[in-house]
Amino acid sequence: MKISNFIWKRIWMTVPVLLGASFVSFSLLRLTPIDPAKAYLTVSNVRPTDEAVSAIRSQLGLDRPFFSQFATWLGDLLHFNFGTSFYSKLPVTEELYNRLPITAALAISSLILAVAVSIPLGLASALQKDRFIDHVCRVLAFLGSSAPQFGVAYLLIYFLSVKWDMFPLQGADSWRNYVLPAITLSFSLIATYSRLLRAGLLKGLNEPFVLYAKARGMRTFAILTRHVLRHAIRPVITAAGMNLGKLFAGSVIVEQIFGMQGMGGFFLESVFRRDYPVIQGYILIMAFIFVFGNFIADVIQTMLDPRSALEQGKVRGR
Amino acid sequence: MQPKLIVSLTLVMLIVVSGLLAPWLAPHDPNLVDLSHKLQSPSFSYPLGTDQLGRCLFSRILYGTRVSLSLAMVIVLASLGVGLVIGCLSGYAGGWVDHLFMRASDAVLAFPSLILAIALIAVWGAGWKQMAIALVIILAVYYVRFVRGLVHSIKTETYILAAKVSGTSPYRMMVRHIIPNIVPPLLVVVTLEVGWVIMDISALSFVGLGVQAPTAEWGAMINDGKSFIRSHPRLMIAPGVLIFIMVALLNLISDSFSESKGFGSPLRRKLKPRVTEH
């Protein structure tokens, strides 16, 4: 199977998933124990009289049949229209779009930080297997997988912000504001990635081509970085792609702790306000990012090792 | 068994037992507000000091252990039950039943799980019951996929075919042949999951969507203490450290389960003869 074919097939596969996701997001409003129209009126500080409720119901299209509502919702989605916020009365798309840069900057810088730190860590612990640095990395990985994110955040705040006053506590004005949240978000990823990389490198060192390179007189470090790393990094890239959505999701809590006005913090505020259109729009965008991250991971994986497209083609062609 | 496993199991049991015995071990009522004793340093009568409302921190942590652990256990067991039933059904029946469940789970798995949990809580309102239901729904979807995969992997085993040929009913097949054989790998997943669920519960309670005040819960306690980070970091450190220890121990147990064949195989050896008795 050619790579371009694989990519097309892979894009085609996301269509039913995204359709399903938009159905889930659409159904949320229909699962509420309280009438969304009443929620709208409460948020707008209007007394929910019967006339007002029925007026809002027809304005929101809630009086129409279920599937006709779903069709309208899908049609609106194609125009990136998620409706208007109950609270601010502005289009949801605009509200989220204005806050996207902060969240995106946070998620992407965390991802870069995680990969940048875990490559040297993984290399070091593979080269020095069962020596001091390897043990340090093992402990770090263990801490990373067991410490709750908000615990890490407050630990950083306590030492680097409150005690030593190195970084600002709140806001998102300069790059210095992003340091602590990015470390918080990448902490558990560094743990996973450096262990993945270590395992991959150690496995790769047993391959015959490594023996050949050694016979040619190459140094271990050069063999590792030039030949083995290329293979060992694949699971890390897959994991990084899959974590893209998780990073955006993690920003919900981290943005709230660090007082950043991003999408995640806005989502949480909207949850407390029962601002349903914002909630629906936000989770759908998250699903898109999540699915997109997986897609990118698959594509890069295939680029690095075209055999995987072949294998997947075989499995799917059963 | 490895010493690592024994030590971490003992410590987990210790925490569980102290949670169970909280009413007898706790020196004070966890919700007793006493403003004359607020923000006291650790002393003999208040082992970890008091919070901004004069409540005994140690007693609150003990009671919080009950809340976090019992909620996490209930959530994991409930979703495991749902996952086991639907996963077996889907994996064993195949065809359109399987297809239906898989497409439905695809749609749910398209969302980051924390986001979907928050959205579901947003629909029903904040509270520990709503949080539990939301987490059960999401976890169950993961278990359905996992169980289905396991069922698929043993479906073609000889003993299953033998049972089928000898006319075993589908129900008996599930209960006697399939479920006993997928329990050991599930066990590993479940121990790990309890740790994650504890983290999820504390994270959701921390942002105010889960367990509500004044109930003592670790995440909610961290949230309570956050305005005192400058003057009394103790209020956040105590529950934070306990969450970390609990999750770390559960991770250790899960690691030892999956590493050692020592635990898996006696269980399987016990199960195997039962399976081949037909």
How much is the pLDDT for B260? 59
CA distance B179 to chain A (A): 27
Rg (CA), chain B: 22
pLDDT in tens, A204-261: 888 888 888 888 888 888 888 888 888 888 888 888 888 888 888 888 888 888 888 8
Residues of chain A found within 8 Å of residue B251, distances taken between Cβ atoms: 142, 145-146
Helix B3-20 vs helix B57-93: crossing angle, to nearest 10: 120
Q: Among B87, B104, B145, B204, which Cα is nearest to A27's?
A: B104
The answer to whether the CB atoms of B111 and A16 lie below 8 A apart is no
Element (H or E) spanning A190, and its range? Answer: helix A176-204
Question: SS3 breakdown of chain A: % helix, strand, coil, rounded to 5?
Answer: 80, 0, 20
Residue with tokens 């898996």: B264
Q: Is B56 helix (H, G, I), strand (E, B) or coil?
A: strand
Residues of chain B found within 8 Å of residue A144, distances taken between Cβ atoms: none
Q: Residue B79 — pLDDT band, cuts 50, 70, 90?
A: very high
Q: Beta-carbon neighbour count of residue A142 at 10 Å?
A: 16
Q: Residue A309 — pLDDT band, cuts 50, 70, 90?
A: low
Residues of chain A found within 8 Å of residue B104, distances taken between Cβ atoms: 20
Q: Which of A49-53, A303-307, B153-157 has the highest mean pLDDT?
A: B153-157
The answer to whether the CB atoms of A20 and B107 lie below 8 A apart is yes
Nearest 5°: the CA angle A158, B204, A176 is 35
Q: Residue A308 — pLDDT band, cuts 50, 70, 90?
A: low
Rg (CA), chain A: 24
- A260's CB contacts (< 8 A; 6+ apart) are A102, A106, A170, A171, A172, A177, A181, A254
CA distance A212 to chain B (A): 33
Residue of B nearest to A270 (CA): B122
pLDDT in tens, A285-296: 889 888 888 888
Contact B203, B72 (CB under 8 A): no
The C-alpha atoms of residue A38 and residue A46 are separated, in whole angstroms, by 9
Residue B103 clears pLDDT 50, i.e. is over it: yes
Residue A315 clears pLDDT 60, i.e. is over it: no
pLDDT in tens, B206-218: 888 888 878 888 8
Q: Which of A59-63, A77-81, A182-186, B256-260 has the lowest mean pLDDT?
A: B256-260
CATH (residue range B3-30+45-266): 1.10.3720.10
Q: What is the mean pLDDT of residues B18-44?
A: 76
Residue B167 clears pLDDT 70, i.e. is over it: yes
Contact A81, A150 (CB under 8 A): no
Residue of B nearest to A256 (CA): B207
As given in the structure block, the two tokens for residue B57 are 């921190």
The answer to whether the CB atoms of B107 and A24 lie below 8 A apart is yes
The C-alpha atoms of residue A99 and residue A90 are separated, in whole angstroms, by 13
- A50's CB contacts (< 8 A; 6+ apart) are none
How much is the pLDDT for B189? 74
Q: Residue B261 — pLDDT band, cuts 50, 70, 90?
A: very low
- Is any Cβ of chain A less than 8 angstroms from the Cβ of B1? no
pLDDT in tens, A37-60: 777 777 777 777 777 778 777 777
Q: Is the peptide bond before A277 cis (omega within 30 degrees of 0)?
A: no
Contact B225, B217 (CB under 8 A): no
Element (H or E) spanning A239, and its range? Answer: helix A229-257
As given in the structure block, the two tokens for residue B224 are 């309570």
- B98's CB contacts (< 8 A; 6+ apart) are B90, B91, B148
By percentage, how much of chain B surpasses pLDDT 70? Answer: 91
Q: What's this model's pTM, rounded to 2 decimal places?
A: 0.84
Q: Residue A314 — pLDDT band, cuts 50, 70, 90?
A: very low
Q: How far is CA B16 from the centre of its chain?
A: 13
ipTM of the shown complex: 0.83
Residue A65 clears pLDDT 90, i.e. is over it: no
Q: Residue A132 — pLDDT band, cuts 50, 70, 90?
A: confident
Distances (CA, A) of A91 to A104, A276, B167: 20, 13, 62
> Which residue type is seen at A148?
P
Averaged pLDDT of chain A: 82
Nearest 5°: the CA angle B191, B247, B12 is 70
> Which residue type is seen at A202?
L
Q: Which of A166-170, A273-277, B259-263 has the lowest mean pLDDT?
A: B259-263
- Is any Cβ of chain A less than 8 angstroms from the Cβ of B101? no
Q: What is the mean pLDDT of residues B243-263?
A: 74
The C-alpha atoms of residue A105 and residue A114 are separated, in whole angstroms, by 14
Residue A31 clears pLDDT 60, i.e. is over it: yes
Residues of chain B found within 8 Å of residue A253, distances taken between Cβ atoms: 203, 206-207
- CA dihedral over B175, B178, B180, B184, signed as positive or negative: negative
Residue environment code for B15-24, b if the CB has 16+ CB neighbours within 10 A, otherwise e: bbebbeebee
Backbone angles phi, psi at B50, to 5 degrees: -125, 165
Q: What is the mean pLDDT of residues A68-96?
A: 82
Q: Among A154, A183, A178, which Cα is nearest to A167's?
A: A178
Residue B136 clears pLDDT 90, i.e. is over it: yes
Per DSSP, the residues of B184-233 read HHHHHHHHHHHHHHHHHHHHHHHTTSSSPTTS--HHHHHHHHGGGTTT-T
Residue B273 clears pLDDT 50, i.e. is over it: no
Q: Residue B109 — pLDDT band, cuts 50, 70, 90?
A: confident
How much is the pLDDT for B268? 39
Domain borders along chain B are 3-30+45-266
How much is the pLDDT for B35? 74
Q: If you count them, how many residues does chain B have?
A: 278
As given in the structure block, the two tokens for residue B113 are 């799980």
The answer to whether the CB atoms of A279 and B121 lie below 8 A apart is no
Backbone angles phi, psi at B244, to 5 degrees: -60, -50
The answer to whether the CB atoms of A17 and B222 lie below 8 A apart is no
Nearest 5°: the CA angle B6, B10, B13 is 140
Residue A84: beta bridge partners?
A: A91
Residue of B nearest to A22 (CA): B107
Contact A141, A184 (CB under 8 A): no
- Is any Cβ of chain A less than 8 angstroms from the Cβ of B100? no
Residue B231 clears pLDDT 70, i.e. is over it: yes
The C-alpha atoms of residue A100 and residue B67 are separated, in whole angstroms, by 36
Q: Is B162 helix (H, G, I), strand (E, B) or coil?
A: helix
Closest CB to B244 among A33, A151, A248: A151
CA distance B139 to chain A (A): 16
Per DSSP, the residues of A21-74 read HHHHHHHHHHH-SS-HHHHHHHHTT----HHHHHHHHHHHTTTS-HHHHHHHHH
How much is the pLDDT for A1? 58
